[in-house]
Amino acid sequence: MAVQLGFLDIVGAAALALVAYVLIKTFTRLFSVLVNRQTVLEFKPKNLEDVLEKCCHLFPIQHLKFQDKLFKRGMEIRIRTVKNSTFTGRFIGVNEENMYCVVTEKSVVAQEIRMIEEISVV
């Protein structure tokens, strides 16, 4: 007993698959934004050297390869996250938990690498 599939059946199945794909991608992105691990710590500018020393110890990997670009410790970078927040600072490093660290003028930002949307050199 063979089932005959018509053109409209195939188009309907393709449309349903597209809707399912878009829904899954949307929920996945929303879930990843909700589960975001981000830490922002403010510091006084006079403590910058101590903060840099501690951050270098906590984030020992001195480079990050992102979208075929290599970013090294000390580079001034601008990061845009999947939450569309943007910050500019000095790249410090990466740790074994796939978190990166950037020191801005007044704060230390540590966040998961998967939350990066775009990185550019300033």
Sign of the C-alpha dihedral computed for residues 96, 99, 104 and 107 taken in this order:
negative
Predicted pLDDT at 26? 77
DSSP 59: S
The confidence band for 29, taking pLDDT boundaries of 50, 70 and 90, is low
Helix (DSSP H) and strand (DSSP E) numbers for the chain: 2, 8
Which pTM was predicted? Answer: 0.66
pLDDT reported for residue 3: 80
Q: Which long-range contacts (CB under 8 A, 24 or more apart) does 20-25 make?
A: none
Question: CATH second-level architecture of 37-121?
Answer: Roll (2.30)
pLDDT in tens, 69-105: 999 999 999 999 888 889 899 999 999 988 999 999 8
Using the predicted structure, report yes or no on whether residue 1 has a pLDDT greater than 90.
no
C-alpha 4/C-alpha 84 separation (Å) is 48
Q: CA-to-CA distance for 63 and 61, rounded, in angstroms?
A: 6
Q: What is the reported pLDDT for 24?
A: 85
